Amino acid sequence: MPDEIPDWEKLTRQLELYLRLRTFPVALKLLKDKRELEKNPWVRRPPTPLSLCQLVTIVRTHDWTVGATAEELMSPGCRSIVGLEALPDWITDGRMRSVVWVESQADGAKCEAAIPRIPLGKYEAVLLSPVVYKPVEKPDMILIYGNPAQMCLALNALQFDRYERFDFHFSGETSCGDVIAQCYLTGKPALSIPCFGERRFGHAADDELALALPPDDYVRMIENLGHLFKRGIRYPIAQAGATTDVRPYLATAYNMEALEKGEEEA
């Protein structure tokens, strides 16, 4: 990728045209010094401790820039995902998880151990903002929410010039770990199903999936959506009809006549 800073506003406006997302893409930046929050004139701080998913939702629906330290996140679980606090024993040993989500404390401990978390001690705060406002030169990652069709095309775009088969995860009742921490730890796109808590407190909709992208992949995805657009791959996806003969559509899309002639010549 080029070394120059991407034009986040231009790219995000293009993404809006290609995928018509219902909410704003979110830039997430982890801050090594919490005093950096005070330098941003647009940052709103939670008046009372909120969950991490609530902060994400405020940004993607209210169009606000928000920031939080450990004290401004509501629980050890939220703080631990972004590396701001270690989990207490009553969480790591599975006691809390087993109250609701699993049958035994042993399974609760297994679940907690499996959830991705950003390493402790590197950061003191987190900043989230609509990408379009260029909150930082280069976010640590960008979060987008969309329905399965929109996410399908986003992932198709990521495969366009650098094909790989994607694997994604679901730890359970901590989808922020499967999205935010997973992306941070692997440096790869991370897609997951919003969990119960993100639906109840973060207001994720029934039809939404969450995707975290390294910033370079965000740029590449949007550029490749443009290539797919020119090839007729667009959102919303036009339906051919469940009882329709779709062979003419395939023939046109893939230039089947030329392909078949080439095969016969070979």
Q: What is the pLDDT of residues 234-254, one digit of tens each?
A: 999 988 888 889 899 889 888
Q: What is the pLDDT of residues 46-58, one digit of tens each?
A: 999 999 999 999 9
Residue in 47, 26, 45, 51 with CA at minimum distance from that of residue 198? 51
Assigned domain for 181 exists: yes
Residue 203 lies inside a defined structural domain of this protein:
yes
Residue 85: count other Cβ atoms within 10 Å of its Cβ.
17
Return the percentage of the chain with pLDDT > 70, whole number.
97
Does residue 95 form part of some domain? yes
Residue 1 falls within a domain, yes or no?
A: no
Q: Is residue 137 part of a domain?
A: yes
How many domains does the structure of the chain reveal? 1
| pLDDT tens string 211-221 | 999 999 999 99
- Is residue 21 situated within a structural domain? yes
> Is-contact 61 23, C-beta < 8 A?
yes
pTM: 0.92
Domain that holds residue 94: 8-238+250-265
**pLDDT 10s digits, 76-103:** 999 999 999 999 999 999 999 999 999 9
66 SS3 class: strand
- Domain presence at residue 88: yes
Place of tokens 């550029």: 223
Tell me if 3 is assigned to some domain. no
Chain centroid to CA 6: how far? 19
Is 2 a residue whose pLDDT tops 80? no
Residue 74 burial by CB count (10 A; 0-12/13-18/19+): exposed, middle or buried? middle
* Nearest one of 110, 82, 84 to 97, comparing CA atoms: 110
The torsion of the CA quartet 202, 207, 212, 215, rounded to 10 degrees, works out to -110
